[in-house]
Structure 1
Amino acid sequence: MKSVSFFIFFIVINELAFSQQDTIYYNSQWQICGKGIASFYRIGSVAVGKEWHFTDSVRDYYISNRIQMEGFYSKDGFRDGLFSFYYPDGNLEAQGRFVKDRFYGNWQFYYPEGKRKARVYYSGDAIAFTIVEYIDEEGNYLVKDGTGKFLIPVTDLYGDVNYLLKGEIINGEREGAWEYTGLVNENNTQIKHKEVYNEGKFKRGESSSGEEFYRDYDKPKVAATFMSFKKINNTETFAVSESGNVDIILNNRKLFPSYNPTYGNTRDTIGAMTNVEIEAAFPGGYLAWRKFLEQNLKADILTNSLPASIKNYKQTVQVRFIVCEDGTVCNVEVANKNEGFKPVQDEARRVISRSGKWVPAVHEGKNVKSFHTQLITFIATSE
């Protein structure tokens, strides 16, 4: 028969880190939410200090695990560099550069099947865009080399409102009336904004009150693009309820007042610290923790997973988890899930998830979240 023993190694992650790789979940409106109602998720680094922001490379995914966006944030939290956006099937939707959160230079847009749709030049002010070329779905050029008359669908970058834009551009300069028509209801549309140009110079802007136009602005108003960029403004906001204002706390610092998050502000890893003054501990210390594992781990889970032909086997499960501010163990995950048998991994994860409340870590006189890693090695031998 086979006998099983296991060794327990406890490692406290104690590396100095200003930013950390994290996973954050988003609802369909690109607001931070809980995993259970998420439509997207982001893997990237979060810098936590007096305020928080994304930094370094960031990759967004559909909840189906297909890539949705990849790009780069500066150390100050600005979108800076090349960004690529993808349709759910993996085809490229748009690609271009940001400079300090602003669209800059040539942006390319594509139809879902991969054909080119538009090339738009941004001078650094998103409202001052130039349609260099636009190709309809049949392959006809409505705008070529910065010249053409068009009737094309666009989306307001800031308001995420869909319009049908009718206008003309000559040698890269806007000419005549540019009319933005919006949907009033299912069967009715009307011109929402009308801007008049002469050789590229803005003359006047009018908005619809529902019945008539009135002159209300003296510079271009609509920042148009050719895909929905609701996420650009929402990725650092929270899904909210109507229960009033609360303070969002990350890394034990009050960052900014916000509305009460309905589903929690992010996954539990946001704000967890890797360098604290007093480490979290299992009540009773290491010996009590070891005794708890020995009494609660199902040691025969490994032998039950092994084929009969295997006589001797060893599997180490690396479980990474967080001890929250109130001592609750949360965000328990297997770090090496591609190694060994899944039932063994599940057992290690199960027992740590049920280890009860710990004594939380302390930093600057307050309880904080902290990272921990537990290595459990199962050894099966034949007798």
Structure 2
Amino acid sequence: MKLLLTFLACLTFCVSYSQKVAITYFDESWLLTTKELASYFRVGRIDTVKYLYHGEVNDYYISGKLQMKGKYNQGVKIDTFYFFYPNGNLMTQGYYLQNVRYGIWTNFYDNNFVKDKIVYNNHFLSVLEYYDKDGNQKIRSGNGEWETSYYNEFTMDTVKIKGYFVDSLRNGT
């Protein structure tokens, strides 16, 4: 029993020793850079052996305002993430399942009005609701015209989407 407790204590020490809270700097394309050239910075616990984030991670605009708040497990996004505009207002809120958007995501305009509610399911996207900047509903119960853009972190590009939905499914071109 004593040997088992000693082993567990050593294992805990090794795991905690290989992790430290780090500040990492990124340019406008989210590529690693120096503090002097940075547009964003990240604060989080990183495994210094594998260079993977673990636990709560916060991204900030270089001004110091919060840009993103979320959790990682060995570099994989998990649980609910929050993204913010430079003015501090909530931009997007949703859940990641093994690094993939999953479930209902809510997007907001920078004036705090709801923009849309989107369901993600294994790379399948459907729109439940969509509102214009003035708060007028354009999609109700999955039916209507939709227009949006989002940042694709894999291609590091903004994706623009416009089209029609019928019964929450894309319809037409």
Same fold (TM over 0.5): yes
| Residues 38 and 162 of structure 1: CA distance in aligned 2, closer, same or farther (over 3 Å) | same
d(CA) in 2 for partners of 1:45 and 1:23?
A: 9
SS in 1 for 2:77: coil
| Residues 64 and 161 of structure 1: CA distance in aligned 2, closer, same or farther (over 3 Å) | closer
d(CA) in 1 for partners of 2:25 and 2:166?
A: 44
Question: Residue 63 in 1 paired to residue 62 in 2?
Answer: yes
Name the TM-score, length of structure 2 as normaliser. Answer: 0.84
Measured after TM superposition, the shift of residue 155 of structure 1 is 3.4
C-alpha RMSD of matched pairs (Å):
1.6
d(CA) in 2 for partners of 1:45 and 1:26?
A: 16
Say whether the 8 Å CA contact 2:71–2:80 is kept in structure 1.
yes
- Which AA in structure 1 matches 2:53? F
d(CA) in 1 for partners of 2:88 and 2:97?
A: 25
d(CA) in 1 for partners of 2:35 and 2:151?
A: 29
Q: Cα deviation per residue 1:133-163 (whole Å; 9 max; x = unaligned)? A: 110012111111111133x132362432443
Q: Cα deviation per residue 1:106-138 (whole Å; 9 max; x = unaligned)? A: 00100111111011000032xx11111110012
Higher mean C-alpha displacement, 133-142 vs 91-100: 133-142
SS in 2 for 1:138: coil
Measured after TM superposition, the shift of residue 170 of structure 1 is 1.4
- 2:89 maps to what in 1? 91
Say whether the 8 Å CA contact 1:42–1:58 is kept in structure 2.
yes
| Residues 144 and 102 of structure 1: CA distance in aligned 2, closer, same or farther (over 3 Å) | same
Say whether the 8 Å CA contact 1:42–1:60 is kept in structure 2.
yes
The counterpart of 1:118, out of the listed 116, 119, 126, is: 116
Measured after TM superposition, the shift of residue 164 of structure 1 is 4.9
Q: Cα deviation per residue 1:31-60 (whole Å; 9 max; x = unaligned)? A: 1111111111111011133x3211111011
The counterpart of 1:155, out of the listed 150, 155, 158, is: 150
In the alignment, structure 2 segments of 5+ residues that lack a partner are 1-12
The aligned runs of 1:233-382 (5 Å cut-off) are none
SS in 2 for 1:36: helix
d(CA) in 1 for partners of 2:21 and 2:135?
A: 42
Larger RCO, structures 1/2 (Cα 8 Å, 6+ apart): 1
d(CA) in 2 for partners of 1:71 and 1:173?
A: 29
Q: Cα deviation per residue 1:197-250 (whole Å; 9 max; x = unaligned)? A: xxxxxxxxxxxxxxxxxxxxxxxxxxxxxxxxxxxxxxxxxxxxxxxxxxxxxx
- Which AA in structure 1 matches 2:165? I
d(CA) in 2 for partners of 1:35 and 1:25?
A: 6
Say whether the 8 Å CA contact 1:99–1:124 is kept in structure 2.
no
| Residues 68 and 156 of structure 1: CA distance in aligned 2, closer, same or farther (over 3 Å) | closer
In the alignment, structure 1 segments of 5+ residues that lack a partner are 1-14, 178-383
SS in 1 for 2:56: strand
Say whether the 8 Å CA contact 1:147–1:172 is kept in structure 2.
yes
Question: Residue 139 in 1 paired to residue 103 in 2?
Answer: no
- 1:359 maps to what in 2? none
Higher-Rg structure is 1
d(CA) in 2 for partners of 1:118 and 1:173?
A: 15
- Which AA in structure 2 matches 1:163? K
- 1:367 maps to what in 2? none
The aligned runs of 1:183-222 (5 Å cut-off) are none
- Which AA in structure 2 matches 1:21? V
d(CA) in 2 for partners of 1:73 and 1:162?
A: 24
Equivalent residues, number:
157
Measured after TM superposition, the shift of residue 168 of structure 1 is 1.8
The aligned runs of 1:21-60 (5 Å cut-off) are 21-49=21-49, 51-60=50-59
